[in-house]
Amino acid sequence: MKRSVCVICGLLLFAVVAHAQEQQFANIGDLKLQNGGVIRDCRVGYRTFGTLNHDKSNVVVFPTWAGGTTEQLKGSIGPGKLIDSTSHFVVAIDALSNGVSSSPSNSRLQPRMRFPIFSLRDTVESQHELLTKVLKIVHVKAVIGISMGGMQTFQWIVSYPDFMDKAIPIVGSPRLAPYDLLLWSAQLEALKRDPNSARALDFAFGELLLTTPTDYNRRKTREDVFADLEKARNDTKRFEANDKIRQVQAMMALDVARDFGAVKAKVVIVVAKFDHVVTPGPATEFAKLIGAKLIDLDGDCGHLETSCESRRLNEAVTQFLATDYTDK
């Protein structure tokens, strides 16, 4: 009897956990934007992992990278991963215009390029609405994000300095460096082309800059290059140029100095020395400015160094999240 109860408990627990990890949506109504515009009937996608403890003190917010979804964040959540969901209640949130949360590709009232230009400040606002009004969470243990998720993390700590105890922007930036602006300008130019050409160019920019030439040449043959490009050119599934355009515009407009007051969170900033997508200068300067600890990954995987050095990164994040600074 005892044994069968446990089986039932296990099944129930599995059902609860599995359900929690599923895609959920919150309708937060019209979202007023910094530029005066409005995202009508704004919907924010999210998934939760782990269990909220009784005093709601174990929440970790985890926004998506550019073009990414909370589905793709799953691989970074769990025991031994970037964020351990056995001790934390992780709220992974789909950034605006990622094709899951309100986006040019899915907005009924503001479809395609009628979807307004917004900022990462607005993206953070949509997440703050989700957390405070829908999930009734008014303070979190940490905000952690990778790449554009790191940019949102920088925005979080200046927009809502009292909202989190800790923050870890990973290969993100508080304001794009000239090189990054050039890169995204070129990508916007490429996205204007006809779909096949746009797909091929978009793919090529990713391949050329996400890692380093050394890493690319180690992984690819000369034949791979042409096969990969041909595949990208003909891959019609799920490439929403308009969604990407609006996210790129949001990244290019980012400048957290505009909202800058006293940063209250304990912050660890992670950069990659040979990152050719989010070059490490501005985040490094910001670390100095606020006296944050800087972790400088120096391998040749570039922007993807977070994968190549995942063990080192995961250990550093775990340790930082476990440290109780109130002791000091």
Burial of 261 (0-12, 13-18, 19+ CB in 10 A): exposed
- Please tell me whether residue 213 binds a copy of itself under the rule CB under 8 A: yes
> What is the dihedral sign for C-alpha 69, 128, 76, 182?
positive
- Please tell me whether residue 294 binds a copy of itself under the rule CB under 8 A: no
Per CB under 8 A, the list member of 38, 177, 210, 290 interacting with a copy of itself is 177
What are the DSSP calls for 253-273, one per residue? H-BGGGG-----SEEEEEEET
- Please tell me whether residue 234 binds a copy of itself under the rule CB under 8 A: no
Per CB under 8 A, the list member of 31, 95, 209, 287 interacting with a copy of itself is 209
- Please tell me whether residue 192 binds a copy of itself under the rule CB under 8 A: yes
Which residues lie below 8 Å from residue 41, measured CB to CB, with a gap of 6+? 27, 29, 30, 102, 108, 109
Per CB under 8 A, the list member of 19, 32, 133, 220 interacting with a copy of itself is 220
Give CA–CA dist 212/321, Å, rounded. Answer: 30
* Least spacing, CB of residue 246 vs a copy of itself, in Å: 19
91: closest CA among 144, 137, 46? 46
**Identity of the residue, 96 or 190, whose beta carbon is nearer to a copy of itself in the bound complex:** 190
Write the single-letter amino acid at 264. Answer: K
CA-based R_g, the chain, Å: 20
Both tokens of residue 141? 């243990």
94: closest CA among 51, 61, 50? 61
Q: Which range in 7-15, 86-94, 132-140, 178-186 contacts a copy of itself by CB under 8 A? A: 178-186
- Please tell me whether residue 178 binds a copy of itself under the rule CB under 8 A: yes
> Residues binding a copy of itself: what is the number (CB under 8 A)?
36
SS3 assignment, position 235: coil
Site for a copy of itself in 254-283 (CB under 8 A): 275-276, 279, 281
- Please tell me whether residue 200 binds a copy of itself under the rule CB under 8 A: yes
- Please tell me whether residue 205 binds a copy of itself under the rule CB under 8 A: yes
- Please tell me whether residue 296 binds a copy of itself under the rule CB under 8 A: no
Q: Which residues bind a copy of itself (CB under 8 A)?
A: 176-179, 181-183, 185-186, 189-190, 192-193, 197, 200-201, 204-205, 207-209, 213-214, 216-217, 220-222, 224-226, 229, 275-276, 279, 281
